[in-house]
Structure 1
Amino acid sequence: MQTFHNIIDGKPVAAADGRTLDIVDPATGEVYATAPLSGPADVDAAYTCAQRAFREGWRDTTPADRMAALLKMADAVEEHGPELVEIEARDTGKPKGLTLSEEIGPMADQLRFFAGAARHLQGAATSEYMAGHSSTIRREPLGVIGSITPWNYPMMMAIWKIGPAIAAGNTMVLKPSDTTPASSVRMGELFNEILPPGVLNVVCGDRATGAAMTDHDIPAMVAITGSTRAGKAVAESAARRVTRVHLELGGNAPVVVFDDADLDAAAEGIAAAGFFNAGQDCTAGTRVIAHASVAEALAAKLVEQAADIRFSRDETDGSEDFFIPPLNNPDQLAKVSGLVSRAPAHAQVLCGGSAADGGGYFYPPTVISGLRQTDELVSTEIFGPVITVQTFDDEDEAVALANDTTYGLASSVWTSDHGRTIRLSRALDFGCVWINCHIPLVAEMPHGGFKQSGYGKDLSSYALEDYTRVKHVMSTY
């Protein structure tokens, strides 16, 4: 049985009152470790150390100093990549090959991007905007950041929070999901060999721990990646103290496929975007809206794609097959199973449709056609390996169906008509519009949505700006 710990002021510590959480391997459903169940005293200790580290030196570091630290952190991620993958796979059930190729490299790259961005802050030019007065802009760190990360990408979401916060000169307290703390704790250990004590603290716990994170006087901003429900709770709590919030929340991405699209390429790309990580991705391409003339053919091709996908428990070293992990926990398995079991009579479950045998929380790739806009499966963020297919007759209807959601994170358009891509990229009400692809991300471009998908950006220079404040300095002469 493994034992994880908090990291406060650079040291491993248990929860103050000794309470722990059981950590379950979702591939087997068995407890394999314990982690601290932190309370308000632990959160307060972490925030106090972070505040001291900020005031006593970290905020005064130069961009070059922070760049050097972030580059060392990126090197540490690469050097310990295989170890981190083993830890992540045990915690999440993820396939090791895909996790190594799709997460470790991008995580190191993202840290290196923010290392460079730390030295490229921007603002209005110093000038005389009033006669006899000179004005300049200071861009400063906010202070202490409280960060809360989800269970679908524990390692990568931690990096998305750590990179811009540290680059901007902030200190932070990071709380990973209660079900997946392992990789965050290990990265905390590695990064504390590089950063001064108190700059990066890791506190494990449950929802109550998260509430203590937001209901505290010290943090200048609370940043969360999670569900819309969780984001609203964070925003409500932070509002009582007028604390900034940075919210990357749920999604229900439309995938609009026109009759002139390359259906083979579309099916392959949509299956990858919808089934990768078992659909546990806020940008997952699971809500397909296809032209009526090609919807049946596209659905059949998606079924073919699903047949080639295997579970991560079947992975062997060196295999290049497409594997998906189990769902994270029994509640998520019950949610996905319930949504599919309640599919209306006019829907057709073309493949999958029930939990897999063999232990763990596995759910097979599932394709459901014949759905309508008002159906629960269409209006709900499924967060599982379930692709739904509905139809449209013309471009205006496609846009209306796509935008008819409370979410606004991501979308994609599949067509060979260049003019149409321009029109839809303007018309679709989502923070990202992919054209003839779905789900690629790069460090240089922002990730974040509209409406109930939240506000604030991860990645890119826009994220760095979110972790700073702007001060106007004016003097006479």
Structure 2
Amino acid sequence: MALDTFYNVVNGQKRQSTKMAQSIDPTDRRSLWPVPVASDQDLEDAVAAAKQAFRNWSKTPVEHRKQLLSTFEEKLLASKNDLTQLLMQEGGKPHALAAFELNYAPLLFKHHRDLDINEQSEDLTDRSIVTRHVPLGVVAAICPWNFPLVLSIGKIIPALLTGCCVIVKPSPFAPYAILKMIELLHGIFPPGVLQVLNGDDALGPALVAHKDVPKISFTGSIQTGKKIVEKSALSLKRLTLELGGNDAAIVLPDVDIARVAKQVISGALINSGQMCLATKRVYIHDSIYETFVEAMVKAMDELIVGSPDSESSTHGPIQNPLQFVRVSDLLEDCEKRGYSIKIGRAMADELRKGLFVQPTLVDNPPETSRVVQEEAFGPVFPTLKWDNEQDVIRRVNAMDTGLGASIWSSDIEKAGEMARQLEVGSIWINTTELPIPQAMFGGHKQSGIGGEWGKDGWKAFCNVQIIHTMKSRDTKL
């Protein structure tokens, strides 16, 4: 498989373009390979092909669709090494983190293959009713740059399973692994069932607004999510939006400090903090605050920020220049305001030509500070004190976002009581925030609309249809 040529895939055919774009390697800012930018005609052709393919694909027996998804999995894993290499280069990820995306994929395939999505019948006194979940049609799967493969796969599988056809749009910051994945799946699915379009800033809005695309599944920023809602309002498209968050960790005073501090650091700095569910704020009980922060700094000192090519690297760079500027600006604000800043192991000087940022802990800044109120989406996070349970719950809930949270305590019952008072979509007790296929994932407030995965997430790609069959012709109202 050639790893230096990339195509859009439309109606089963590879397409180039008269307009090309390039992303960068964030470790040194060197340009990577050229990729085609889809034209207006590419978009129209892809939507028409998907709409045509939907007629037969939606009628294909579920078990056959599952068989083809198994072939998808086999081909994906056969190219695991090549795709991992692409993820390392376009994302700056150490090998273990890049390989995680491919290692996680089989869990998604198995979970969805095990689902029962057949019709459900119920016999009532005067009638029988049949509940059907009818596929929506053409799905636009708009994917982010931080975990491009696993998050795109998490949209593709349930959409295809239900009988929808999918047009995948990768982030222009990380197009390579997704484009190559769809290319290598050539021949598994009928033409038009699974397509991919890389594009510029015009493609996303055009795809969202298209009259023949009834379903949008988007993972990304709140700002873009709001624009999608506006664009889709005229045709009342079905939306699943997984947006940003400002996830809090609440640490109770009864924890094993050394062990939990290391786990909280892991949750805050996974993928250099570039994860929607990464811990963004750490609330530590006042009675253990100083000791816990010391333990966190010690854990940070064990991390090695470096190139993905180095086997010793645990953390890579910020993925793209725009996000690097945002994180750098947040750090500058902390320094300008004189907040206490703690960092781990010093970063090698040669890394400064890339988009690297040292893991940074901001020690007890004001609750109103930018570093508390904003989602950094980088390796920068604040630690804050608390001494009253209702007060810390109020502070955690004060945000207009509500994606996830974690609670750390030896008292499981107490942690459970606190969890039920938090205004977020997912809560982890005594573990870092990591979704699993068996649990639906979605946000509260401005962190999203709807959810995916779990036993019911596939229903987001369907309309519900109920068929009533009366037992008697003499029906009275």
Q: Same fold (TM over 0.5)?
A: yes
SS in 2 for 1:86: helix
Aligned match of 1:245? 239
Separation in 2 of the partners of 1:345 and 1:13?
A: 52
Indicate the residue corresponding to 1:363 in structure 2.
357
Who is 2:13 aligned against?
11
| Structure 1: gaps of 5 or more residues | none
Give the structure 1 partner of residue 121 of structure 2: 125
1:73 and 1:111 in contact (8 A); partners too:
no
Alpha carbons 2:7, 2:183 under 8 Å: kept: no
Please say if residues 5 and 35 of structure 1, whose CA atoms lie closer than 8 Å, have aligned partners that are also in contact: yes
Aligned to 1:301: 295
Q: Give the aligned partner of residue 105 of structure 2.
A: 107
Cα drift, residue 441 of structure 1: 2.5
Relative to structure 1, the CA distance from residue 335 to residue 182 in structure 2 (aligned partners, 3 Å threshold; closer, same or farther) is same
- Counterpart CA distance in 1 for 2:339 and 2:187 is 55
Corresponding position of 2:30 = 30
Unmatched tracts of structure 2, length 5 or more: 472-477
Which piece of structure 1 moves more, 182-191 or 426-435?
Answer: 182-191
> Residues 93 and 312 of structure 1 are in contact (CA less than 8 Å); yes or no, is this contact kept in structure 2?
no
Report the Cα distance in structure 1 between the residues aligned to 2:25 and 2:313, rounded to whole angstroms.
21
CA-CA distance at 1:263 after TM superposition? 1.3
Alignment of 1:338 with 2:329, yes or no, is: yes
1: CA distance, partners of 2:139 / 2:320: 28
Match of 1:154 among 148, 152, 171: 148
Moved more, 72-81 or 283-292: 72-81
**TM-score normalised to structure 2 length:** 0.94
The alignment status of 1:347 with 2:339, answered yes or no, reads yes
- Counterpart contact for 1:337–1:353, Cα < 8 Å: no
* 2: CA distance, partners of 1:162 / 1:357: 41
| 1:258 is the counterpart of 2:249 | no
| TM superposition outliers: structure 1 runs of 4+ over 3 Å | 122-125, 352-357
- Find the aligned partners of 2:346 and 2:208 in 1 and give their Cα distance: 38
Map 1:76-475; keep pairs closer than 5 Å: 76-100=75-99, 102-117=100-115, 120-121=116-117, 125-128=121-124, 131=126, 133-313=127-307, 315-316=309-310, 319=311, 321=312, 323-343=314-334, 345=337, 347-351=339-343, 357-358=349-350, 359-475=353-469
Cα distance in structure 2, aligned partners of 1:368 and 1:269: 18
Match of 2:202, SS state, is helix
Aligned-partner Cα distance in 1 for 2:313–2:267: 12
Alpha-carbon distance between aligned partners in 2 of 1:96 and 1:86, rounded to the nearest angstrom: 8
**Aligned residue for 2:64?**
65
**What's 1:47 paired with?**
47
Measured in 2, the distance between the counterparts of 1:330 and 1:286 equals 21
Q: CA deviation at 1:454?
A: 0.3
Letter of the aligned partner of 1:112 in structure 2?
A: K
Distance 1:123 1:411, change over 3 A: farther
Distance 1:354 1:383, change over 3 A: farther
Q: For residue 111 of structure 1, what is the amino acid of its counterpart? A: F
For 2:25 and 2:309, locate their aligned partners in 1 and report how far apart those are by CA, in whole Å: 16
State the distance in 1 between where 2:46 and 2:288 align: 56
Letter of the 1:269 counterpart: Q
Structure 2 counterpart of 1:323, which letter?
T
Judging changes above 3 Å, is the alpha-carbon distance between structure 1 residues 78 and 2 closer, same or farther for their aligned structure 2 residues? closer
Deviation sequence 1:444-465 (CA, Å, 0-9, x none):
1111111111022222222211
Q: Distance in 2 between matches of 1:178 and 1:414?
A: 37
Q: 2:275, 2:119 → 1: CA distance?
A: 34
1:395 shift after superposition: 0.7
Q: Which amino acid aligns with 2:315?
A: I
CA contact (8 A) 1:346 1:370 kept: no
SS at match of 2:455: helix
Give, as a single letter, the amino acid of the residue that structure 2 aligns with 1:398.
V
Q: Distance in 1 between matches of 2:255 and 2:416?
A: 15
TM-fit CA distance, 1:339: 0.5
Is the partner of 2:432 in helix, strand or coil?
A: coil
Question: How many angstroms apart in 1 are the aligned matches of 2:383 and 2:300?
Answer: 14
In the alignment, residue 152 of structure 2 is paired with which amino acid?
A: A
Q: For 2:460, give the aligned amino acid.
A: D
Change (3 A) 1:322 1:416: farther
Give 1:406 shift: 1.3
Task: Write the letter of the residue equivalent to 2:84.
Answer: V
RMSD value, Cα: 1.9
1:356 is displaced (CA, Å) by 7.1
Amino acid at match of 1:127: D
Deviation of the 1:345 alpha carbon: 3.7
Given that residues 406 and 429 in structure 2 are in contact (C-alpha distance below 8 angstroms), is that contact kept between their aligned partners in structure 1?
yes
TM-score by length of 1: 0.94
| C-alpha deviation, 1:355, in angstroms | 8.9
Between the aligned partners of 1:50 and 1:21, the Cα distance in structure 2 is: 25
**Aligned mates of 2:250, 2:398 — CA distance in 1:** 13
Deviation at 1:322, TM superposition (A): 5.8
How far, CA to CA, are the matches of 1:412 and 1:322 in structure 2? 26
Q: Percent identity?
A: 29
Distance 1:148 1:460 in 2: 20
- Which deviates the most, 213-222 or 355-364? 355-364
